Every structure is written in structure tokens, then in C-alpha cells.
Structure 1
Amino acid sequence: MKVAVVGGGPAGLYLSLLLKKADPDHEVVVFERNPPGATYGWGVVFSDRTLTSFREADPKTYTQITDDFIIWDAIDVRYRDEVIRCGGQVFSGISRKALLSILTERCEELGVGLEFEHEIVGLTALSDFDLVVGADGIRSSVRAAHEDAFRPRFDDGSSRYIWLGTRHLFDSFTFVFRSNEDGFFQAHAYPFDGSFSTFIVECDEASWRRAGLHEADEATSIAYCQELFSSDLGGHRLESNNSKWINFITLKNRKWHHENVVLLGDAAHTAHFSIGSGTKLAMEDSIALVDSLETHRDIGAALDDYQLERKPRVERFQEAARQSQTYFENTSRYVHMEPMQFAFHLLSRSGRIDYDDLRMRDPHFVGSVDRWFLRQASDERLTPAFAAPPAFAPIHIRALPVSNRVAVNVDPSYSAVEGVPVQGELEVAARTGAGLVFTDVIAVSERARITPGCPGLYNDEQREVWRGALGRARAVSTASFIATLSHSGPRGATRPRTLGADLPLRHGQWGLVAASPLPYTRRSAVPEEMGRAHMTEVLEDFDAAARRASAAGFDGLELNLAHGYLLSTFLSPLTNHRSDDYGGGLESRLRFPIEVFEAVRAAAGRMPVGIRLGASDWARGGIDLEDAVDVARRFEERGCAFVRAAAGQTVPGFTPRYDPYFLTHYADRLRNEVGLPTIATGDIATIDHVNTIVAGGRADLCLLRV
């Protein structure tokens, strides 16, 4: 096979030597526009897992690379003049120049053709090759020749960074955070040989501009960074290698191959430098492509196999990198955190490393986190010698004591009769050991039910049944109990969800109301647009339900502003098309939900009242997280005690995004920007998840799936 490889970086060189090693009869030619040894950037980082695949692919280069490695097993976080170290993080570094030299020598040894200072413009010159490989980076000319087929998408990051080096040798992967009158800056530093360390400086756009770095030349930029991080450089200077301030660009391609052309490395994908995966992913692409070509005689089948094998794996890394990038673009959000929590949050930022992982790697570090967390949670002045994990630390929601950080929700059974709740459901939830138990949504009136089998709090009989249920639950648990008050709005008068979602009742329907006369689904009944009389009636219903909840003995209340039910129809522009004082901009759309909250708050007495907030509609033109932060602030100003972050279901055609702990980042934003205690939701299935979220300050409690 005759193969043209465009690009002489690690991906292209490694692919070429592996192809030639697999079959010496292959004719492999590398075309590189730069002279031999020319490179930009400083060091390259690898993990243990990566090294295993390199050893199996080519033992000789593996040995040469590892002989040149500098190895460390710790991550340091320097914040507020404290250094927090977490061990067990084994990584290896090598200079990019040394890596390229090793790969180039191996290519020459195996007979790979190396055409340096040879730029390929268009692919017509390569028409006699059986396979053309685009390994020419993010600005790939190979990809550009078939852009309509590859369909690349470029996403610019919001922060600015500059890639520098220093002769100061760090002994760990070090994250440094410094602030001055211009803003908040961070450095990512790591050693890569016995003489140099990489030193990447990153900051948000506003800090970059306030510092005048948008107008600065290279020397001025280096001088600024050197002064800012002088205490971290051990008297050494920062050095440049054609370094410029840039935004990180994330690249994804719909397809990785077209006809006899295939992409790998940065031509196919990029992942944020904060998880150190760029060169690793590129060289693993090379291994996978060679394996596919060896397995399939047909080139088309081989390229299909390569894409099927690599694309999903890379996309998982890109998702972790996206979360890590988002963290570093918003570190100023967390400056209020104490150093221990700040460090834990950083280490668990990408979703790939959690509390249990860190405990296995460095039990001393996690023990320090546990002790710090318990001291903060219990207001103890002395540091305990031993502390349970954060999931088991107490918390107060206003004056309400909660024994641990686990919350559970009573699952809906749709078995209530005329709003009277089913006996035993609250007790079952209480036996889980959770510190906080939420009821199923409780209808504030007969017309507020989702189905005929939903529980209510709209008459005294229901109140007394709830009182008895709470008494039995308290006999088996120390949990606190929260009643979730709700009105179904346009999603009412439906059959039980066990028969299908949002199926209208065949018989016995009742009239529906909403912010605007928009049916929830095409088969749903059209709700009546609420007028002032309707609003007054609903306000009275919520007021009465809150008073009954207090009399029944609940410890707190939650107001449901999510999932397309009545109050969320006012919040979202997708469901609120009103032209009066209750429609239009966000402030007007908030008017009625705030009226309801204030009525419930007044009726609740000393009980804390929180909200379940739809933090995103997951639909174009709907509520997004920026809106949700604004909404949460308005409720916090009016005495809201907590917020449970939810998303979607405002309209049926929503598009969810399932990340690790997929709703936790909503709770994170609300907690750390608004300052409200938050409850994270979203398929949180283990105590490990709870520990990770709570210890990192992403939420105060977690709704556990049980």
C-alpha cells in the first residue's frame, strides 16, 4: 500500500513508523512543511494507561520515550498562599522536541520517506497514493479539501491562554492561582525534562483586557506574567517559543474519513489542554488506524472500523475536557471557597475522577478533606482526628437541622384516592437513612392534580392522613420531611404515568389552566389562559395547602417551578405568550410565581420554603442557566431557603444532555453564584457521587436514586 501522511507531528510520525513496521512493503511518505526539529510548544504529558498501549505498539520507541521521561505522582494546588497536595497521580513528561526526534529516527530506521519543508497545497499531487492521511493539525489543509464531507465544527473557548516555559523545575503537576487589581489568573505548570517546565498562563477575557494584554507584544506579556507569578518561579524567568495569547478551539468532525482520505490527531479532534490528552489521543489514533488497516484488506472497511473504534472514545475524552475547560474558564466563581474545597473541586472537575478515586490514590488527602468538611459543617473549632465522608455530615437549612447530605424523593404511585395519600410511602422513603425526604408532588387543589391518583393537601382529611404518615415515618427515621406543593397546569387531567406520559383522561377530565392557552402535547386539552380571578384562586389554594402542611407537621416546603407545570408555564417564554403584566420579559414572567412564593412563605411560619427550579428548558428559545441564576437571585431576596435544580419537560420536544451527574452543574452555578443552598439531582446513584458533589461545593445535598 502506498500511503501519504500529511503532517510530521507525533500523530503522523507514529502512524508512519507503525505502518512500516507492520508491513515493510508499504510505501509511506511523510510531508511536513517545517524543517526537521522545528516545533512549537514545550512539554508533552502521558499517563500510565497510555504507556501500556505504546509498549505494545512499538517496544523500541516505548523504551526510548520512557528513558527520556521525567515522572511525578502528585498534583499541587497553590491557592491563597496555601499548597494542597494530592498524591497518587502518576504522569510522565517529555519535551516535544525529544519526542519528535525519537519518532523521526525510528521512521528513518524503518525506511519511511520524510519530506521536510514540503507543503501540500490541495490533494491532486497525492492522487497516486492509495491512502492519504491528514495529520496536519487543527488547521488541516487535508480536511479543508473535503470540508463538506468531514463537516468540522469549531468552538472557541472564552478564556485566553499563553503557552510559556521556565527553567524552574516543578516537582508535580502544579496549578497556581493569583489575583491582582486586573483580575484572576491561573497557571498550569509541569516538568517535562531535567531542565524545563511548561508554564501555561490562563485568564478570563475581562482580566486579560484590564491588564492591557490584548495590546501587549510578546515581551510585555511575558514580563507581566513573570511578575504576577514571581513567587512560583524560584527566581527563574519565563521563556517563549513563538508564544501568543489565544483562545482554545475545540474541534469535532462529523466524519473522520472520506473516500481514501482519513484524519487523525488534531486534524480530527482537539481536547482542552487541562486534561493533557492532545498528543496521547493523537498517538492512540495512529495505533487504532494501523490495527484497522491490518484487520481489513479493503481500505474503506478499515476506515469505517477506525472511526467506529476511535470516535466514541475520543468524544468521551472531549466531554471530560469540556467540563475541565468550563471549570478553568470560570474559576473566579469559586474564589470564595476555602483552599481545601477549592482543591477538591479542581481535582474532580472533569467527571472522570471522583471521591473514591482520590481516596484510593491518596487517602491522606481525602482524610484531610473529610476532617475539613466536618469541621465546617459542625462549626467545630478543633480538627477531629477522624471524620466520616462528607455525605454523612450534618447541615442546617435555615433553622432546620438535616442529619446528612442525602435526599430522597417519594416515588409517585398514582394510587391516592380523592387526594388522600397512600399509607406507608413516606415511611419507606424514611427507612433509606436519608437526611431529607421529599414527598411526591402534592396538589394544592382538586384541579391541580396531574392524575386522579395524585396526593393532595386541599382538605382537612388529607391533612390528618399526612399527619399520621409523618408520625409513622418519624418513628423509624431522624429525617426531615419536605412537602412539595404543586399545580399541574397544562399537564393535568391525565392517566397514570404507568400507562404513558401525558395521556389525557378518557373520562372525568377537569378544566386546565396555564399562563397561555397552549396544550402541553398535541393530544392534550387546551388550557384556559389564567385571568386575575384564576390567579387569586390559585394563590388561595397554595396558601391553604401551606397552612395544612404546617399543621400536619412537615418540616419545610418546596414550591414546584419546573417541568412544565403551572408555575413554570409563567417562567418560560416557550409557554408564556401573554401581553399583560405577567408576560414579556423575565421580570414580568416572574411576577405570578413570586406572588405564589410570597403567599406560601407567609403561610409557612418558621418552616423553610425552597423551590424546585427548571434551570434550563433544554429547548431553543427557552429558559437557560443564565436566566435561572437571575430567577434564583429574585427568590433568594424574598427568603427562599434552598433550590433544587431541575431541567427539561417545559415543552415535550426538549433535548437533554446527559453528562456525568448531568444536572449537577446547574446546582453548582446556583450555589456558587447566588449563594443559596442547593440540592443536586440527575441520576446520582451512589454515595461516592454524593461525596464528590458535596465535598467539591457543587451542591449542599444530593437527591439519591434509590
Structure 2
Amino acid sequence: MKIVCIGAGPGGLYFAISAKLRDAGHDITVIERDPPGATYGWGVVYWEDLLDTLYRNDRESARRIRAESTLWQEQVVALRGVDKAYLGGYGYSVNRAPLLAILAERATELGVKIQYETAVEDLADYADADLVVVADGANSRTRQRYQEQFGTRVDYGNNPYIWLGTERVFDKFTFDFEQTPAGWIWFHAYPSAAGISTFIVECTEPTWRGLGLDRLGDAETRQLLEQVFAGQLRGRSLISQSRGKPASWQRFTQVFNETWRYDNAVLIGDAAHTTHFTLGSGTRLAIMDAVVLAQNLYEQPETALAVKEFDEAGHAALREAQIAARSSMAWFERADRYTDRGAVEFCYAMAGRHGIQRPWQYQRYLARQNLVARKALRWAGTGQRWLRARRRGEPWR
């Protein structure tokens, strides 16, 4: 089968790997408009379920990704940097640049051809391909060109946000909400590489404009944010550039498509659907799309039927995640309505943004605020990681 993948992000590259592993006879080419190593953004987070999938699907790339990943334990939510509350759990994070390098190297090893600095303008250029996998992100130019055929709807969130890095290393997934004369502004931070953390700043539009962030340049923006979050940054600087142009303020792009297939093309990952970054599911969903589509093509001899099944089952499976993502985004757009309470109550409101919380969950949450209970939960998490790693045959670290 001749397959063309548009976009060398996690979805496109991992699909190429997954399809080649299932049938080495596939002729697969990945086409990317940017040069090698160009990636905009910092780290991405994932959890044990994705790690299990990676090890089942391709142990070789999974091993390399895990080696580049950083573990974080617990979540801490702070108001004004000093009033804190805690949520349990742990996860992993990996910088986008090494993630993409690992996937590109693995795809090349399997015989996938990657063409960088090549723009795709029209699907008609690949009419001879059996399948075109469109994986060029939330702002997919290919999808935009055929938006009527895909039934595309694109909405935008209200809150401006900017994706930065910092030399301050956070060992926990950290939220910090700071009050300024113009209103509340906050960050989400987590470790993403040795000596570097991802640092996403968000606020409402009135706060953004009131602080002058709509007018400031890159250096002035970083300087102001370093002042606002000085306590949490502990003298460390913010970093804007990550192997590309300086970071810019954005509004989250919500992508919906009535169908993910048209002619010989199929959408996957953010080109097909997006979930708000406060859920941390974008990369996981793109990789799951890649695995499911590759498996469908392997099991179903008719390409059109395999893609149809992927489209229909994918829409059904994604419904719950998209509802949770919309709820999460909406909560953060109204976060200042909850800042009149202490961190413990504020944190519980944030934790419940995805749905109804039962009374017993509140009691369990209060117990987790105790230092002894938190230490016990960390030990339990260590045991869970050891068990999951052993099942995967992964070296313990």
C-alpha cells in the first residue's frame, strides 16, 4: 500500500511506525513543512496507560521515549504562591524535541521516508496514494482547504495563553494563581527535561489587556511574567524560544469535524480533534489514533472500510474526552470566581471541574492534605509504578 502522511508530529510519525511494523511492505512517506528539529512548544505529559500502549505497540521506541521522560509526583495548587493544597497522582513528561527525534529515527529505521521542508497544498497531488493520513495539527492547512468535505468547525477559547519554558525545575505538577492590579493570572508547570520545566501562563482577556501583555514584545513579556511569578520562579528566568520562533500568545483552538475521511484522506490527532491543554491528552489521543488506524488497516483488507470503521468508532470513543475538555476550559475561563476562598476549597473546585464530586470524595481529598497521608500515597504510587514497569518488562528507574 502506498501511504502519504502529512505532518511529522507525534501522530503522523507514530502512525508510520505502527503501519510499518504491521506490514513492512507498505510504501510510506511522511511530509513535513518545517525543517528537522523545528518544534514549537516544550514538554508534553502522559500517564501509565499511554506507556503501556507504547510498550505493547513498539517496545524499541517506547524504551527510548521512557529514557527521555521525567517523572513528576503529586499536583500542588497555590494561591498567591503561599496558600497551597495538594492532589495525588503522578505522571510523566517529555520534551517535544527529543520525542519527535526519537520517532523520526525509529520511522527511518523501519524504512519510512521523511521529506522535510515540503509544503502540501492540495490532496490532488497525492491522488495516486492508497491513503493520505492528514496529521498536521490543529491548524491543519490541508483540513482547512477541504473544510466543507470534512464538515469542519473551529472555535477558539476566551483565555489568552503562552507556552514557555523555565530553568526552575518543578518536581510536582504545579498550578500557581497570582493576583495583580489587573486581575488574576496563573501558570501550569511541570518538569519536561533535565534542568528545564514547561511553564504555561494563562489569564482572562481583561487581565491580559490590563497588564499590557497584548502590546508587549517578547523580552518585555518575559520580564513582566518573571516579576509576577518571582516567588515561584525563585530567581530563574523564563525561556521563550524552543528550536524555533519566540513563543506568542494564543487562544486554544477547538477543532470538530463531522467526518474524518474524504476521498483517499483521513484526519488523525489534532487535525481531527482537539482537547484543551489542561487535560494533557493531545499527544496521547494522537498516538492512540495512529495505533488504531494502523491496526484497522492491518485487520481489514479494504482500505475504505478500515478508514470508515476508524472514523465511526473514533468519534464515539472521543465524545467523553471532548466533553471533559470543554468543561475544563470553561472552568479556567471563570477561575477568578473561585479565588475568594482558601487554597483547599479552591483546589477542590478545580479538581471537580470535569463532573460531579461525591461527598466521600471530599473527605478523601481533605485527608490527602495531611503530610503523612501524602507520603503514604507517594509510596503507594511508587509501588504501582514498579508493578506496571515489571509487567511491561521495563527496567525500573
Please report the TM-score for the alignment, with normalisation by the length of structure 2: 0.89
2:257 is matched with which residue? 253
Kept after mapping to 2: 8 A contact 1:260/1:299? no
How many Å apart are 1:142 and its aligned residue? 2.2
Q: CA deviation at 1:145?
A: 3.4
Match of 2:205 in 1: 205
The Cα of 1:124 is off from its aligned counterpart by 2.1
Q: Alignment partner of 2:170: what SS?
A: coil
Secondary structure at the counterpart of residue 157 of structure 1: strand
Alpha-carbon distance in structure 1 between the residues aligned to 2:311 and 2:268:
10
CA distance in structure 1 between the partners assigned to 2:289 and 2:363 by the alignment: 32
1:335 aligned onto 2:336: no
Partners of 2:131 and 2:358 lie apart in 1 by 42
Say yes or no: does 1:296 pair with 2:297.
Answer: no
Change (3 A) 1:272 1:356: farther
Alpha-carbon separation, structure 1, partners of 2:328 and 2:289:
22
Residue in 1 aligned with 2:367? 364
Matches within 5 A, 1:155-170: 155-170=155-170
Distance 1:85 1:286 in 2: 35
Matched, 1:344 2:348: yes
Equivalent residue number for residue 82 of structure 1 = 83
Structure 1 residue 358 displacement after superposition = 7.9
Q: CA deviation at 1:357?
A: 6.5
Count of equivalent residues: 366
Counterpart of 2:219? Answer: 219
Please list, as runs of the form range in 1=range in 2, the aligned pairs for 1:54-69 lying within 5 A after superposition: 54-69=54-69
| Alpha-carbon distance between aligned partners in 1 of 2:313 and 2:63, rounded to the nearest angstrom | 27
Deviation, structure 1 residue 355: 6.5
Q: What is the CA distance between 1:359 and its match in structure 2?
A: 7.0
Q: Which residue of 1 aligns with 2:385?
A: none
AA aligned opposite 2:182: D
Between the aligned partners of 1:358 and 1:310, the Cα distance in structure 2 is 34
Q: What code does the residue aligned with 1:284 have? A: M
String of CA shifts for 1:617-669, please: whole Å, max 9, x gaps.
xxxxxxxxxxxxxxxxxxxxxxxxxxxxxxxxxxxxxxxxxxxxxxxxxxxxx
Deviation at 1:221, TM superposition (A): 1.1
1:158–1:204 contact (8 Å) kept in structure 2: yes
1:357–1:198: structure 2 CA closer, same or farther, 3 Å change rule? farther
Residues 108 and 215 (structure 1 numbering): CA distance in 2 closer, same or farther, change over 3 Å? Answer: same
Give the letter for the 1:244 counterpart. Answer: S
* Residue pair 1:165, 1:238 contacting (<8 A) in 2 also: yes
Q: Distance in 1 between matches of 2:37 and 2:265?
A: 26
- Counterpart residue identity of residue 276, structure 1: G
Where do residues 587-626 of structure 1 align in structure 2 (5 Å cutoff)? none
> What is the percent sequence identity of the aligned residues?
36
Structure 1 distance, partners of 2:362, 2:73, is 13
Instruction: Give the AA of the match of 1:210.
Output: G
- C-alpha distance in 2, partners of 1:192/1:355? 35
Shift of 1:356: 5.8
Q: Which residue of 2 aligns with 1:319?
A: 323
Q: Which amino acid aligns with 2:65?
A: I
Q: Is the 8 A contact 2:86 2:369 kept in 1?
A: no
Q: Distance in 1 between the 2:338 and 2:366 partners?
A: 24
- What is residue 97 of structure 2 aligned with on the other side? 97
Task: Tell me if structure 1 keeps the 8 A contact 2:72–2:190.
Answer: no
**Structure 1 residue 352 displacement after superposition:** 8.5
Alignment of 1:34 onto 2:34: yes
- What is the distance in 1 between the residues matched to 2:182 and 2:228? 11
Corresponding residue number in structure 1 for 2:134: 134
Q: Is the 8 Å Cα contact of residues 19 and 295 (structure 2) preserved in structure 1?
A: no
Which stretch of the first structure deviates more once superposed, 142-151 or 209-218? Answer: 142-151
8 Å CA contact 1:30–1:114 kept in 2: the answer is yes
In structure 1, C-alpha distance between the alignment counterparts of 2:181 and 2:174, rounded to whole Å: 23
Structure-2 change in CA distance of 1:302 and 1:221 (3 Å): same
Task: Assess, with a 3 A threshold, how the Cα gap between structure 1 residues 133 and 353 changes in structure 2: closer, same or farther.
Answer: farther
Which residue number corresponds to residue 154 of structure 1?
Answer: 154
C-alpha distance 234-92 of structure 1, shift in aligned 2 (>3 A)? same
Quote how far apart the aligned CAs of 1:315 are: 2.4
CA deviation profile, 1:373-397 (whole Å, cap 9, x unmatched): xxxxxxxxxxxxxxxxxxxxxxxxx
| Correspondence list, 1:298-697, <5 A | 298-351=302-355, 364-365=367-368
For the 8 Å contact 2:268–2:286, the answer to whether it is kept is yes
Query: Is the 8 Å Cα contact of residues 70 and 93 (structure 1) preserved in structure 2?
Result: yes
Give the counterpart letter for 1:271 in structure 2: T
2-structure distance, mates of 1:216, 1:271: 29
C-alpha distance in 1 between matches for 2:184 and 2:315: 36
Residues 143, 179 of structure 1: alpha-carbon distance in 2 compared, 3 angstrom cutoff: same
Rg larger in structure:
1
Give 1:364 deviation, angstroms: 3.1
Unpaired stretches in structure 1, ≥5 consecutive residues? 369-706
Q: CA deviation at 1:295?
A: 1.6
* Native 8 Å contact 1:162 1:202 kept in 2: yes
Which whole-Å deviations, capped at 9, do the CAs of 1:111-141 have from their partners, x for residues lacking one? 0010011111112221111000100112212
1:35 and 1:357 map into 2 onto residues whose CA distance is: 48
What is the rounded CA distance, in whole Å, between the counterparts of 1:354 and 1:265 in structure 2? 33
Q: CA deviation at 1:181?
A: 0.7
**Secondary structure at 1:177 match in 2:** strand
- For 1:20, the aligned partner's letter is K
Partner of 1:551: none
The one-letter code sitting in structure 1 at the alignment partner of 2:84 is V
What SS does the aligned partner of 2:40 have?
A: coil
What is aligned with 2:270?
A: 266
1:366 is displaced (CA, Å) by: 6.4
The alpha carbon displacement at 1:339 in A equals 1.4
**3-state SS, counterpart of residue 368 of structure 2:** helix
Runs of 4+ in 1 over 3 A off after TM superposition: 352-360
Could you tell me how far apart the structure 2 residues matched to 1:211 and 1:92 are?
A: 33
CA deviations over 1:225-269 (Å, ceiling 9, x no partner): 111001101210001022111111111111011121100011001
Is 1:70–1:92's contact at 8 Å kept on the other side of the alignment?
Answer: yes
Q: Which runs of 5+ in 2 are unaligned?
A: 372-397
Q: Which amino acid letter does the alignment assign opposite residue 268 of structure 1?
A: A
Q: Please state whether the residue corresponding to 1:349 is helix, strand or coil.
A: coil
Structure 1 residues 387-408: Cα deviation after superposition (integer angstroms, max 9, x where no partner): xxxxxxxxxxxxxxxxxxxxxx
**Higher helix proportion, which one?**
2
Instruction: Check 1:92–1:354 CA distance in 2 against 1; reply closer, same or farther (3 A cut).
Output: farther
Q: Say if 1:155 and 1:78 are closer, same or farther in 2 by CA, change over 3 A.
A: same
Alignment of 1:171 with 2:194, yes or no, is: no
1:442-485 CA deviation, whole Å, 9 max, x = no partner? xxxxxxxxxxxxxxxxxxxxxxxxxxxxxxxxxxxxxxxxxxxx
Classify 1:353/1:219 alpha carbon distance in 2 versus 1 (closer, same or farther; 3 Å). Answer: farther
Contact 2:127 2:264 in 1 (8 A): no
Residues 1:175 and 1:290: Cα distance change in structure 2 (over 3 Å): same
Distance in 1 (CA, whole Å) between partners of 2:370 and 2:195 is 35
Q: Which has the higher contact order (CA 8 A, sep 6+)?
A: 2
Structure 2 SS opposite 1:158: strand
Secondary structure in structure 2 of the residue aligned to 1:192: strand
Q: How far does the alpha carbon of each residue in 1:17-58 deviate from its partner, in whole angstroms, 9 at most, with x for none?
A: 111111010000000011111100000100111211111111
Aligned residue type for 2:316? P
Q: How far is the alpha carbon of 1:363 from its aligned partner? A: 7.4
Give the conservation status (yes or no) of the 8 Å contact 1:46–1:91: yes
Query: What residue identity is the alignment partner of 1:364?
Result: A
Structure 2 CA distance for aligned equivalents of residues 279 and 333 of structure 1: 30
Aligned to 2:289: 285
The SS at the match of 1:215 is: coil
Secondary structure of the structure 2 residue equivalent to 1:65 = helix
